[in-house]
Structure 1
Amino acid sequence: MRVYFLLSLICTTMTAFAQLTPYEASQKKATATYSEAIAYYQKLATTFDKQAKLMTYGQTDFGKPLHLLVLNRDGIFDVAKIKQADKRVLLINNGIHPGEPEGIDACMMLARDLLKQGQLPKDVVICIIPVYNIDGSFNRTSTSRANQNGPLAYGFRGNGKNYDLNRDFIKTDSKNSAAFQQIFNAWQPEIFVDTHTSNGADYQYTMTLIPTQKDKLNPTLSNYLTQTMLPYLYQEMKEKGFELIPYVNSVKETPDNGISGFMESPRYSTGYAALHNTIGFMPETHMLKPYDQRVESTYKLLETYIALVERDAKTIGENKKKADAETASKTTFTLDWKLNRDQFDEIEFKGYAAKYKPSEVSGLERLYYDRNEPYTKTIKQWNNFEPALTIEKPIAYVIPKAWSQVVQLLKLNNVKVSQFKKDVKLALEMYYIIDFKTAQKPFEGHYLHSAVKVEPKQQNIQCYAGDYVVYVNQKTNRYIVETLEPQAPDSFFNWNFFDSILGQKEHFSSYIFEDTAAQLLKDNPSLKQKLEAEKAKNSELSKSAYAQLEFIYKNSDYFEPTFMRYPIGRLVKEIELDIK
């Protein structure tokens, strides 16, 4: 009788959570709303409370916290204990673009099936963000993705502040990004997957894949990615009926002419993950395939990741530890990359014939893909990147306490930060911004800088009690360097954190400064000689009294030394600091 009761209880529990997801209940035509997804996960976590827990982190711009479902066969949900147990962490992010919702629906089914069937992996903890862009998921229509085949309705790309959250992982303008970084840096995943839907050409594949760019990844991680992970993923997905192809980033109008790799800078989720030596993937289902096929391919790909991470759990853990140690001791860092256009691979590609015909709208020639003419051919793939800019790391960066936003983001990313106990004057290498370009139109709320050139100068800088010191001997070195070096594409400088230094704060009145300038020339023969030399080179300077005063002013002690000076100093010589 007791055995019968236990069996009945187990069957009742399993049946209690046998209900379909909203996607399944709609005959696989609709995607779950945010409210439906969270309610579903809440019930799932309650039913399987020994192996599933739904947590919340921070807030989003929509006023709701970010949820995280944690699946662990051992029933341990404390991060420290999980790390002590030497388990791998696989983090899956869904709905960063809520109009691309395959991952939302696939993860709901996958979590249920793993729990119901007792198939949670032994050595892997699975963390799922149900919906990242909560704001955009509420902005639900069936028209915002004009080139997409289903589902019936879906969310919008922009969040509550109209930010594309997959451009926000460094600047962190959104609360969503801050909450995500809490999750990421608490759980420190070895593998990260961010689910998406593509745009672009038409072809036969349902699923395309963007892995972390191999050349910028730590060599140990890169070797494992290219030699083990990708071959396994490609083989397994082919056997499961969803053959993979690299993301179709066509070099010309159609993919027949070849495709190129994608260099995801740290503004993107997988680029951000790489700063922490986490291997990232951005699966992109093809927007024109039926929605049910896109969800199924996402489900099978996520299933494949879990199997792979479980199989190689020990190797993945050892690789991550080695990469972190190498990053902490590394001295040279690449800030920017360029595509090698001379090297390419040849890959098999299954596409459709690209043709042209008169447009019914304009009457002019238009491109279309003829699905009645599928083909298989060999195309070129350019996917080798080379360093375009490298720097030698300093011993430490010194950050004035006024720049608190920078320090907050460093701390959020597990960067160890110290502070001066008392005022001190230090010999630091300071950058002067001598050239840069600024976008003419705003991008994600910023007039983004680029092509930054700096002139380093050794200066004695007054530092104050409470100013910050960041030693560059940490496993977070890549995050430190690629945000604090202004030349890096996604540096804090390029995202306008320091634009106030680009404006001069003091100046002179000509009629008063005339006398001061004359005295400066009398007292400083070398300055006069410098002025005459400049006049000889520049005839326009000789014709302008104001320009000559300006020259003298800028070459005198009256001119503010902080103008165009990047405020974060580089400590390049070993010295014992009085810090806490």
Structure 2
Amino acid sequence: MKRFFLLFLICYGPGVAAQQTAFERDSNTTATYEEVVAFYQTLDRQYASCTLLTCGPTDSGRPLHLFVMAKDGQFDPQQIHQQDKTVILINNGIHPGEPEGIDAAMMLARDLLAQNKLPENAVLCIIPVYNIDGMLNRGTSRANQNGPESYGFRGNARNYDLNRDFIKTDSRNSHSFQEIFHTWQPDIFMDTHTSNGADYQYIMTLIDTQVDKLHPAVQHTASAFTAELYARMEKSGYGMVPYVSFRGRSPESGLVSFYESPRYSTGYASLHHTFGYMPETHMWKPYPQRVWSTYTLLNHFIVLADERAAEIHAQRKQAREQSKTQQQFVLTWQLDTTQYEHIAFKGYESGEKPSDVSGFPRQYYDRSKPFTKDIPYYNHYKAGLTVEKPYAYIIPQAWQNVVDLLTLNGIQVNQLEKDTILTLQLYYIEDYQTGRAPYEGHYLHSNVKLRVEVMPIQCYKGDYLIITDQPGNRYLVEALEPQAADSYFSWNFFDSILSQKEHFSAYIFEDEAYRMLNEDTELKRQFEAAKAADEHLRSDGRAQLEWIYKRSPYYEQTYLRYPIGRLLKR
């Protein structure tokens, strides 16, 4: 590190004042929030080719900042895209206890500006700190981490893990991030992290957007970009491996490509055809090694994005354009265990021995026994549930929070100009599972089963018509289709439809049920057949009344009916 800093001073020459970071002054230290903001403010004052923008609020009450660097001094995002320049977005400090990206990005931004090495064909946008709330809550909270001496906390001011909040958007941080994202329309994205879990020889591991989930127009470019990142990091002395998530307990079971659904930053980005990366340095490596490996990766990321700017930008434009007419969309993905490649994995021998604390077996790694083994890497997912998009979605104006999130994500909406009856395809929620414990402020739904019906529905002036001819169709479909892994339904946006509002009083409804059966022979036939087939129904009088009640004109038609309709034809 000292040798690097001497080179840094030589490169700048005697006439340039080098602004040091807290990390450079003490390599086991990460900058405070105030130091980070002051650092970028100084760069903003010093160089015409950068600007520090104040963006929307966070739950801490402080605004997000965006530091933009453009060699030609052009900071208008529309003009930048019209010039066919690639926009790079780097997000730091989503988990402030993982601060390598915060420190590395500061130094790299300074070095690119001071050495006049900004990319020619790309514009670089950096969020210096995303979870400002957590960064202000400074101390030590990661028991297994090797430095720095003091750092921020994982949760934000409302105790959300912000890397689970992208599609549900409970936090103001997420809302402001999405404003930045859709203002600047990044073509390529990186979100810096630190991993925990197994022990191995690598300083840096990498999650890349799972290629099968990307639009076909960008798949080849993304795969080639990832391969080149690995090659350049290897040459720089920071050999990487995919994020270490074993299929079983041992390396021999193979690595599994991380499944990043839209609750995560890179999964959210892929909904908009932006391919992304989530570097994860190993928490038990010394902090200086983790920072410099992140610095090196960010530098390669920027240089490579600059070299391939035309290809990246053109293919993402193609993906957005083709999404307008795309008919089928995948809602769920499953690991394809039939496809894999072998990679060399550098680990440490591990085993079990009696715990000095409990006496029970405990796992351990022996760093005196490194190994390199060829292991399978499962890097393919296959489509599960798919859905055909409708001509349009109809959203009652009562669900304004849903419409607001869609418009935040660039979805164009129209409102009906008068009351009208539309024939819509509607979903009824037949079955679902709900988590037994809260997860990020919600009780998540999964394994949703639907019944589909087509019926005339009274719609009103002001209800929303959302035609599916948009670049953001993938976001639109995955947000609104209840069976998607991170749909709005899964995140409890529509839980009010899951409870019945009207019931019957048995002592009164008995007479009405008797009348219905006597006046409707077909109903009576179905009732007798249902009892014959269901022992519980035969032996439970209340259940029999409930069966008849559900077929009466009194039963509420909106119970378990998903409120968003699908208009199949224009």
Q: TM-score, normalization: structure 1?
A: 0.94
Classify 1:346/1:12 alpha carbon distance in 2 versus 1 (closer, same or farther; 3 Å).
closer
Range with bigger deviation, 74-83 or 390-399: 74-83
Q: Could you tell me how far apart the structure 2 residues matched to 1:17 and 1:482 are?
A: 50
Classify 1:559/1:255 alpha carbon distance in 2 versus 1 (closer, same or farther; 3 Å).
same
Give the one of 88, 91, 103 matched to 1:90: 88
Give the one of 166, 179, 191 matched to 2:176: 179
Q: Could you tell me how far apart the structure 2 residues matched to 1:233 and 1:546 are?
A: 65
Deviation at 1:160, TM superposition (A): 0.5
Classify 1:530/1:254 alpha carbon distance in 2 versus 1 (closer, same or farther; 3 Å).
same
Deviation at 1:342, TM superposition (A): 2.7
Deviation at 1:15, TM superposition (A): 5.3
Counterpart amino acid of residue 153 in structure 2: F
Give the match's secondary structure for 1:185. helix
Q: Could you tell me how far apart the structure 1 residues matched to 2:475 and 2:468 are?
A: 10
Report if the CA contact (8 A) 1:185-1:414 is conserved.
yes
Counterpart amino acid of residue 430 in structure 1: L
% same residue? 56
Residue in 2 that maps onto 1:240: 236
Deviation at 1:297, TM superposition (A): 0.6
Matches within 5 A, 1:322-361: 322-361=318-357
Deviation at 1:16, TM superposition (A): 6.4
Q: Deviations over 1:497-524 (max 9, x none)?
A: 0000000001111222222223322332
Residue in 2 that maps onto 1:195: 192
Matches within 5 A, 1:249-288: 249-288=245-284
Q: Deviations over 1:516-556 (max 9, x none)?
A: 22332233222122112112222432343322221111012
Range with bigger deviation, 217-226 or 290-299: 217-226
Report if the CA contact (8 A) 1:483-1:491 is conserved.
yes
Deviation at 1:17, TM superposition (A): 4.6
Residue in 1 that maps onto 2:5: none
Classify 1:497/1:13 alpha carbon distance in 2 versus 1 (closer, same or farther; 3 Å).
farther
Give the match's secondary structure for 2:57. coil
Q: Could you tell me how far apart the structure 1 residues matched to 2:378 and 2:561 are?
A: 39
Classify 1:126/1:17 alpha carbon distance in 2 versus 1 (closer, same or farther; 3 Å).
farther
Q: Deviations over 1:280-336 (max 9, x none)?
A: 100001111111111101011110011111111111111101111221111011100
Report if the CA contact (8 A) 1:212-1:270 is conserved.
yes
Give the one of 99, 102, 108 matched to 2:100: 102
Q: Could you tell me how far apart the structure 1 residues matched to 2:562 and 2:59 are?
A: 31
Q: Could you tell me how far apart the structure 2 residues matched to 1:550 and 1:425 are?
A: 31
Counterpart amino acid of residue 439 in structure 1: G
Residue in 2 that maps onto 1:494: 490
Give the match's secondary structure for 1:232. helix
Residue in 2 that maps onto 1:4: none
Counterpart amino acid of residue 473 in structure 2: N
Q: Could you tell me how far apart the structure 2 residues matched to 1:505 and 1:522 are?
A: 28
| 1:19 and 2:16 matched | no
Range with bigger deviation, 258-267 or 545-554: 545-554
Give the match's secondary structure for 1:215. helix
Deviation at 1:473, TM superposition (A): 1.3
Q: Deviations over 1:452-505 (max 9, x none)?
A: 010110011110000001111111011000010000010000100000000000
| 1:545 and 2:545 matched | no
Deviation at 1:103, TM superposition (A): 0.3
Number of equivalenced pairs: 560
Deviation at 1:246, TM superposition (A): 0.6
Q: Deviations over 1:75-106 (max 9, x none)?
A: 11111111222211000000000000000000
Matches within 5 A, 1:402-417: 402-417=398-413
Classify 1:331/1:501 alpha carbon distance in 2 versus 1 (closer, same or farther; 3 Å).
same
Q: Deviations over 1:122-162 (max 9, x none)?
A: 111000000000110011112x1111110111111110110
Q: Could you tell me how far apart the structure 2 residues matched to 1:570 and 1:19 are?
A: 57
Give the one of 122, 129, 132 matched to 1:131: 129
Report if the CA contact (8 A) 2:12-2:114 is conserved.
no
Structure 1 unmatched ranges of 5 or more: 1-10, 575-580
| 1:147 and 2:166 matched | no
Residue in 1 that maps onto 2:315: 319
Report if the CA contact (8 A) 2:94-2:162 is conserved.
yes
Counterpart amino acid of residue 155 in structure 2: G
| 1:34 and 2:24 matched | no
Residue in 1 that maps onto 2:4: none
Q: Could you tell me how far apart the structure 1 residues matched to 2:398 and 2:67 are?
A: 37
| 1:223 and 2:220 matched | yes
Residue in 1 that maps onto 2:46: 47
Q: Could you tell me how far apart the structure 2 residues matched to 1:361 and 1:17 are?
A: 53
Report if the CA contact (8 A) 1:249-1:255 is conserved.
no
Residue in 2 that maps onto 1:5: none
Residue in 2 that maps onto 1:378: 374
Counterpart amino acid of residue 28 in structure 2: K
Counterpart amino acid of residue 178 in structure 1: H
Report if the CA contact (8 A) 1:17-1:44 is conserved.
no
Deviation at 1:277, TM superposition (A): 0.1
Give the match's secondary structure for 1:528. helix
Report if the CA contact (8 A) 1:205-1:350 is conserved.
yes
Report if the CA contact (8 A) 1:201-1:254 is conserved.
no
Give the match's secondary structure for 1:270. helix
Give the one of 389, 411, 414 matched to 1:393: 389
Matches within 5 A, 1:150-169: 150-169=147-166
Q: Could you tell me how far apart the structure 2 residues matched to 1:405 and 1:97 are?
A: 27
Counterpart amino acid of residue 459 in structure 1: M
Q: Could you tell me how far apart the structure 2 residues matched to 1:356 and 1:558 are?
A: 64
Give the match's secondary structure for 1:379. strand
Deviation at 1:14, TM superposition (A): 8.9
Residue in 1 that maps onto 2:462: 466
Report if the CA contact (8 A) 1:237-1:244 is conserved.
yes
Report if the CA contact (8 A) 2:12-2:115 is conserved.
no
Q: Could you tell me how far apart the structure 2 residues matched to 1:179 and 1:451 are?
A: 31
CA RMSD of aligned residues (A): 1.5
Deviation at 1:235, TM superposition (A): 1.1
Classify 1:564/1:189 alpha carbon distance in 2 versus 1 (closer, same or farther; 3 Å).
same
Q: Could you tell me how far apart the structure 1 residues matched to 2:219 and 2:82 are?
A: 26
Q: Could you tell me how far apart the structure 1 residues matched to 2:566 and 2:102 are?
A: 44
